A = this chain, B = another copy of it.
Amino acid sequence: MEAESFDIVRIEERVRKNISDSVAKETPLTIFLNGQKYVTLFCTPDKPKYLAVGFLRSEGLLVDKDDIKSIRVNSQRSAVRVNTKSKRIPVEGLTLKRFTSGSGKGASWYFTQESTQAEDYQKVSARIKIPAKTISDLMKTFQRGSKLFTATGGVHCAALCDVKNIILLNEDVGRHNAIDKTFGEAMLKSIPTNDKILLTSGRVSSEMLTKAAKEGVPIVASISAPTDLAISLARSLGMTLIGFARDKGMNVYSGEWRIE
């Protein structure tokens, strides 16, 4: 488990107790693309390969699995080296972006092609439908599925589902990372994403929404709230966006027709 035990003091009203508390690990992971250092992400240390691949794909630097020549994980140095056949490197038409999963030694900035203009993304056309009850059931399983959250209360989760089951589930101290790990895992396992549902524990900002849009995911459902920009993008791109999916209720912000 990606948690560490700390001896801490628990205070409740006037009572102080020395207890042991389970805390989520956070570690820097440096991603190299074709020999060039690209970014250092602060993340939960599990599944570095999925995180690296998902992150590079989200950045538009890795188109598909076939483009990968090699992936080497150096656990001691906390680094992943991805080499591609296309020898792509991060240079053109990029804007500087702050990575939000933490900050530390190395880059806390990177370039991105990211746009919040709907016309820069393909519309999502999948005709899948899913009953509201299934969304609620998937969310229940999702929330129970994160052992690290149960132990620490300090991580975010993301999952990829079909209309019946959770297929992939990932956890991370950063909500961006949890989503990147999930799409990275889907890519490496050749699981199509354009007929799936993305579940997330985190708020849905424009960045979360565009990550899903790039994967053609038709339905995004969150336990938490979306931003106005995420809703506008989802509406323009024909995506179904659900927020506050808790217990048996949910808010459908976009693409209600996919919810039966």
Contacts and interface: CB of A to CB of B under 8 A. Distances in A.
A10 B251 contact: yes
A96 B36 CA distance: 12
B105 A249 contact: no
A99 B103 contact: no
Interface in A95-123: 95-117
A211 to B, nearest CB: 9
A228 B115 contact: no
B176 A100 contact: yes
A219 interface: no
Given A11-B250, A110-B96, A205-B173, A228 B105 contact: no
Interface string A1-27: 000101011111100000001011111
A225 B114 CA distance: 30
A113 B108 CA distance: 9
> What is the count of identical protomers in the complex?
2
A50 interface: no
A142 interface: no
Contacts of A253: 6, 8, 21, 23
A132 interface: yes
A96 B114 contact: no
Nearest to A120: B105
B228 A24 contact: yes
Contacts of A27: 229
B40 A96 contact: yes
A224 B107 CA distance: 26
A162 interface: no
Contact of A108 (B114, B154, B231): B114
23 contacts: A8-B252, A9-B252, A9-B256, A10-B249, A11-B132, A11-B249, A11-B252, A11-B259, A13-B249, A25-B227, A26-B206, A26-B229, A42-B206, A93-B105, A99-B111, A100-B176, A102-B207, A103-B207, A104-B115, A104-B116, A104-B229, A105-B116, A105-B117
Top 9 nearest A-B pairs (CB, nearest first) are A154-B225, A26-B227, A104-B116, A103-B207, A26-B229, A9-B252, A12-B249, A102-B205, A93-B101
